[in-house]
Amino acid sequence: MSFDYEEDFDRINFREKPEKYLVGRGEQGVLMVEPYKSEILPYWRFKTPDIAKESSRQIYELFLEYKKQKDFVGMDMARKFLQMGYTRSRRYANYKGGKKYDKDGNVNERQINEEKAESARIFEKKWIKAREDETYLSWKKDHQQKYG
């Protein structure tokens, strides 16, 4: 099921109303779901491998903290931020300035930046660890069966 963009995101606290949360695909809703966006976003950085290492560590620790709290929505949001760290780092690794398209909508030529590619690999490791966590997978299945 796709993420529901029709929700009133300015008014919903998804920690209090987890039944309103739809997992969606990939990173859908990552910058909309509160209070998680405000809790995780300050740690999300990927400019250099050192910054990416610290950022992905902090976000993964939040993932584990949400797990301790039995907060599936928090776990899923942390997983999405890790995935977004990977995808954005890859975009900057592949295209100067992160710009995949030129002003006419044509795909720019790839120019691999190894430093950004390393940042992507760092995030990818934590993202895989989160998305393959057995508790996460079980709770994801339960959440989707209950709420869609």
Tell me: the pLDDT tens digits for 19-47? 999 998 888 888 999 999 999 999 999 99
Residue 8 inside a domain? The answer is no
Residue 133 inside a domain? The answer is yes
Q: What would the pLDDT profile of 92-121 be if each residue is shown by its tens digit?
A: 999 988 899 999 999 998 989 999 999 999
Residue 7 inside a domain? The answer is no
Q: Can you give the pTM of this predicted structure?
A: 0.91
Give the chain's domain count. 1
Dist. CA 102–CA 82, nearest whole Å: 27
Residue 3 inside a domain? The answer is no
Dist. CA 78–CA 56, nearest whole Å: 10
Contact status, residue 117 vs residue 93, Cβ threshold 8 Å: yes
Q: Which domain holds residue 122?
A: 18-147
DSSP state letter for 101:
B
